[in-house]
Amino acid sequence: MTTPSIEYKINTPLRAEEVSDVFKASGIKRPADDLARIQMMIDHANLQLTAWVGDTLVGIARAVTDFSYCCYLSDLAVSKTYQKRGIGTELVKRTRQHLGEQVSLLLLSAPEAMEYYPRIGFKRIENAFLIPRVK
């Protein structure tokens, strides 16, 4: 069986339905059925690295950044069919390359992903605070 070729893109236009499909297929907990909210999430992110097989979105790294000091990686999702092929790692690598060495990259992890992030270069920190969303 031939492994399909993965194409990576930066800030390519996205539709809420595509991103919702990846969120659902990845297992990430996001408001995937609220397409208006997903579209706002897409529209207001200022850095998105995506992974494609043909015309199908299979992975996304969505971030908010000032491009000079810090970047919040708000979503890292890869469809389960394509997980364990290095796509998430590559999305993070390309995000970091695009940002440059002067920008720190931080994220909030779901409990089930706590062991994944150290394996791809993230350092666990204890000095973060959160005011959680209500909805």
**Coil, strand or helix at 19:** helix
Radius of gyration of the chain (CA): 15
Per-residue pLDDT for 96 more than 80? Answer: yes
Q: Which residue has the tokens 């998105």?
A: 48
pLDDT value of residue 121: 86
Helix then strand then coil, % of the chain, to nearest 5 = 35, 25, 45
* E strand or H helix at 57: strand 56-65
Per-residue pLDDT for 16 more than 90? Answer: yes
Amino acid identity of residue 97, one-letter, is Q
**Coil, strand or helix at 100:** coil
CATH number of 7-119: 3.40.630.30
Q: What's the mean per-residue pLDDT of the chain?
A: 92
Q: How far is CA 45 from the centre of its chain?
A: 11
Per-residue pLDDT for 61 more than 90? Answer: yes
pLDDT value of residue 20: 97
Q: Are 70 and 20 in contact (CB under 8 A)?
A: no
pLDDT value of residue 75: 94
Rounded mean pLDDT of 98-125?
89
Residue 43 in tokens: 């529209």
CA distances to 95, 107, 114 from 124, rounded to whole Å, are 19, 10, 9
pLDDT value of residue 3: 63
